[in-house]
Amino acid sequence: MKKIYLIIFFVSLIKVRAQNVQSAVKFNLGIGMEYRLTPLKDVFEMPSSYINFEANLSGVPAKFWLAYHFKPNWYAGFKYCVRYDHTGIDNSALTGDYQVINSSFSLISDYVLYLQKLFPLAKDNKLSVKLGYAWMNQGVNTSIFENNRFHIYHYNFSALNIEVDYHYKFFFLGTGIYYNPAENHTNYSGQMQLLYLTMGFNVLKF
C-alpha cells in the first residue's frame, strides 16, 4: 500500500512539473512556407516596364519566426520571409531585336512584426489570428540609366498583414493577406493585395 502511495506521489510530482513547464514557455521558434498567389487587381504600376510586380510578388518564400508568449494565449512575434525571385530585367544581355531573356533573380526579404491571439478548440486543436505590419521587398533595388543619368529605384514597401491559422499539435495551416492601401509611392503607384496560403511547424518551445 505504501508503494502505491509512493507511486501516486511521484506521478503527481511529474504532472505538476509538466504543468509548470507548459506555463513556463516563453518563446516559440518556428519554420514554414508561404505560397503567394497572383496579386489581386490594382497591383503596383511602374512608369517603365523594368519590373513585373506580378512576377516579383507571387512566389514561395521560406520563413522562420520567433514569438514571445507574454500573456495566456497571446504572442508577440517577428517573422522573416526570404525568397529567390524575379527582381526585374538586366537588359544589358540584349544584343538585338526579337529576343527572349529571363529576369534578374535575387534574394528578397520581408520582415513582419505581429501580434497573435490563440483560440483553443480541443486538446490538440487551436485557431489563431495574426495581425502584423510588414516591411516588404527588401533587396529589390535597380539602377536605370535614362536621359543621360542614373536613377536608383527601390521597390520596397510596407503592408498590413492578417493571417488565420488552424493548429494541430505542432503543425499549422493557414491563409492570409498582405495589403497596402496607399496610392502613391516614390517609384510606382497603385494598391497591392497579395493573398497567400501557409503552413509550418513550431519546432521549439522554451
Is residue 10 a contact point for other proteins (CB under 8 A)?
no
**Maximum Cα interatomic distance, the chain, rounded to a whole number of Å:** 95
Residue number with CB closer to other proteins (32 or 132):
32
Check if the beta carbon of residue 166 is closer than 8 Å to that of residue 4: no
Choose, by CB under 8 A, the member of 20, 22, 49, 148 that binds other proteins.
Answer: 49
Is residue 55 a contact point for other proteins (CB under 8 A)?
yes
Compute the least distance from the CB of residue 76 to other proteins, in Å: 27
Check if the beta carbon of residue 133 is closer than 8 Å to that of residue 158: yes
Choose, by CB under 8 A, the member of 13, 60, 107, 203 that binds other proteins.
Answer: 60
Over the window 164 to 183, marking each residue x when it contacts other proteins by CB under 8 A and - when it does not, the resulting string is ----xxxx-x----------
Is residue 199 a contact point for other proteins (CB under 8 A)?
yes
Q: How would you label 134-163 residue by residue, b for 16+ Cβ within 10 Å and e otherwise?
A: bebbbbbebebeeeeeeeebebbbebebeb
Is residue 106 a contact point for other proteins (CB under 8 A)?
no
For residues 1 and 147, give the distance between their C-alpha atoms in angstroms, rounded to a whole number: 94
Check if the beta carbon of residue 143 is closer than 8 Å to that of residue 170: no
Residue number with CB closer to other proteins (5 or 98):
98
Query: Which segment (55-63, 115-123, 136-144, 183-191) binds other proteins by CB under 8 A?
Result: 55-63
Residue partners of 58: CB distance under 8 A and separation at least 6: 36, 37, 38, 39, 194
For residues 180 and 198, give the distance between their C-alpha atoms in angstroms, rounded to a whole number: 19
Check if the beta carbon of residue 103 is closer than 8 Å to that of residue 114: no
Compute the least distance from the CB of residue 159 to other proteins, in Å: 21
Residue number with CB closer to other proteins (97 or 183):
97
- Per CB under 8 A, contacts with other proteins among 116-155 are none
Q: Which residues bind other proteins (CB under 8 A)?
A: 33, 35, 49-50, 52, 54-55, 58-60, 84-86, 89, 91, 94, 97-103, 168-171, 173, 197, 199
